[in-house]
Structure 1
């Protein structure tokens, strides 16, 4: 009898231990599910997000990453603050802007050191030869409060235009941006690849200001402008360092892939619909612009100051505020990833 009870107890304990192990494993897997919102993942500036997925680097790190698409970075930021997602692939300047509102987020992987954007001018307005000629015109941006909006206002001021002498209109990117140019709703606007190449190829627009390379960005903005990044709430980063490290490992490997492979090889790893029917144009644009990506995810030393200078002039949130730039990014994870 005792023997039977002992056996039953042993079996019960074994079953309990097995159930506990399964529960623990399930919890571990659940903890490794990370949702990241991308401010338009078909845009070449945010290419590392889909590329990391395509290369299988998230799976290699044992993390289940879901990428969600959102056309405007400012909306992705709102999703992060609402707790709907754990990270955003968007412009670093949101980290500066949010600190001014008392919200602490930080870039944990810096994808690029140039915006990768251009200011296009409509072919219907051949009289526009410089930014100053936009006086009285309407310019397209992805969204009000977006990075494209701040950069547009900054370049307008640099060209001598006064506040109110241009109007910025939120038109998104891709098809909605193109339609706004075609319909004459805007006379120019800031956008990225592959929209740039599509409009230039059809002759409907031409490049007025180019922010796709580090050198041209320094010329236009006065310094390196760190843009595309993976940013997350600081509190979440501090509480989930293991998961953040795995993300950094995956993205640093992705940036290395970008820097050691041709545009054609990179394009092969991307979803085919990103070519928008013009694979050759997609590759050509990527070849011209992939120098904007950092080789290792580390924040450019002079970059945060340039971003703060732009926002201090045109963000009502930032103007006059004391910003601790050291708290807007961290290189802890990418530097550790480089040694793995």
Structure 2
């Protein structure tokens, strides 16, 4: 199986193709086509080493794809927004990324559907620098706020949280800080005053003592406090045409992913870390730090892969308040086309 980290130039090319597709309201063929259910599937992940997307790599490592007779090519992009463009451009069959992209894309004439919902909370934290002078979201005005990339879910959530505190987008500076080492460096050298990130980055900052968590959306309580309800996030989503044409393949993917969710819920961070590539721990401050990062976030994952319907409504409510593509269009969005529980409920009954 290949592991692909695409260059910035390649990502730009994908984005350009996606823009042209959306502008023309066209539908490109998926990477796998044909009448029969394919056994080879390509999936782009918005950061394979991020704990929020842990089920992707872990499912492969545990051999659950192979158990289902699938050969899955996992590819990686540092940003969920870039992963989304690869799907829209027809370069991959599916994406492991945030559910909110399915709503955003529907307003652009694309039908994208979450088929396995890994988590009903974002798994994100807003971290502030020790000397940033930020004690609450009310202090974000005038600050430099880090996100992974423009149009990413961290961008969406940052706009919402700042707006909820009364800060419009021109009242602060948005900085593309990425994740991991680039995010940590930006926080340490003053490139950002605060930013939204995930584990293992959050765990590394905690251990280094260079920042503190302002908002913790790795738990249901923290998510409700920050966003007014649950916010389904990490998921496996695919083009609706692929889902309709290849239900057998999608069911096998659901079987594999739900089995992994059960594994996560029944094993410790150390046990899970032992299954993952060694370089994930090496890039996260070592095995103990990586295991601690998994333990800090693994409670975000549900055990069934089933979407929380009320949570989906809350995602739409949040996006409709600031996302220019969704604002004013909430009433026209058909949430039933943005996710399905058909496959995961069949796993639960088996």
Q: TM-score, normalised by structure 2?
A: 0.87
Q: 2: distance between equivalents of 1:114 and 1:31?
A: 31
Q: Verify: 1:216 aligned to 2:222, yes or no.
A: yes
Q: Verify: 1:295 aligned to 2:303, yes or no.
A: yes
Q: Verify: 1:83 aligned to 2:90, yes or no.
A: yes
Quote the residue 2:315 is aligned against. 307
1:246 corresponds, among 247, 252, 258, to 252
Q: What secondary structure is seen at the aligned counterpart in 1 of 2:83?
A: helix
Q: Verify: 1:319 aligned to 2:327, yes or no.
A: yes
Quote the residue 1:181 is aligned against. 187
Q: 2: distance between equivalents of 1:232 and 1:149?
A: 22
Higher helix proportion, which one?
Answer: 1
Question: By how many angstroms is 1:164 displaced?
Answer: 1.2
Q: Verify: 1:147 aligned to 2:153, yes or no.
A: yes
Quote the residue 2:75 is aligned against. 68
Quote the residue 2:339 is aligned against. 329
2:126 corresponds, among 119, 125, 130, to 119
Q: TM-score, normalised by structure 1?
A: 0.89
Question: By how many angstroms is 1:47 displaced?
Answer: 0.2
Most deviating of 268-277 and 288-297 = 268-277
Question: By how many angstroms is 1:163 displaced?
Answer: 3.4
1:203-226 CA-partner distances (Å, limit 9, x unpaired): 111111111111110111000110
Q: 2: distance between equivalents of 1:266 and 1:163?
A: 39
Change (3 A) 1:255 1:58: same
Quote the residue 2:262 is aligned against. 256
Q: 2: distance between equivalents of 1:308 and 1:58?
A: 32
What runs of 5+ residues in structure 1 fail to find an aligned partner? 1-26
Q: 1: distance between equivalents of 2:259 and 2:37?
A: 24
Quote the residue 2:29 is aligned against. none
Q: Verify: 1:54 aligned to 2:61, yes or no.
A: yes
Question: By how many angstroms is 1:29 displaced?
Answer: 10
User: Which runs of 4 or more aligned residues in structure 1 lie more than 3 Å from their structure 2 counterparts after TM superposition?
Assistant: 27-30
1:87-126 CA-partner distances (Å, limit 9, x unpaired): 000000000100010100010000001111100101232x
- 1:126-141 to 2 correspondence within 5 Å? 127-141=133-147
Q: What secondary structure is seen at the aligned counterpart in 2 of 1:314?
A: coil
Give the conservation status (yes or no) of the 8 Å contact 2:37–2:248: no
Q: 2: distance between equivalents of 1:98 and 1:324?
A: 12
Most deviating of 195-204 and 32-41 = 195-204
**Structure number with larger C-alpha Rg:** 1
Give the conservation status (yes or no) of the 8 Å contact 2:306–2:344: yes
Change (3 A) 1:56 1:29: farther
Q: How many residues align?
A: 313
Q: What secondary structure is seen at the aligned counterpart in 1 of 2:303?
A: coil
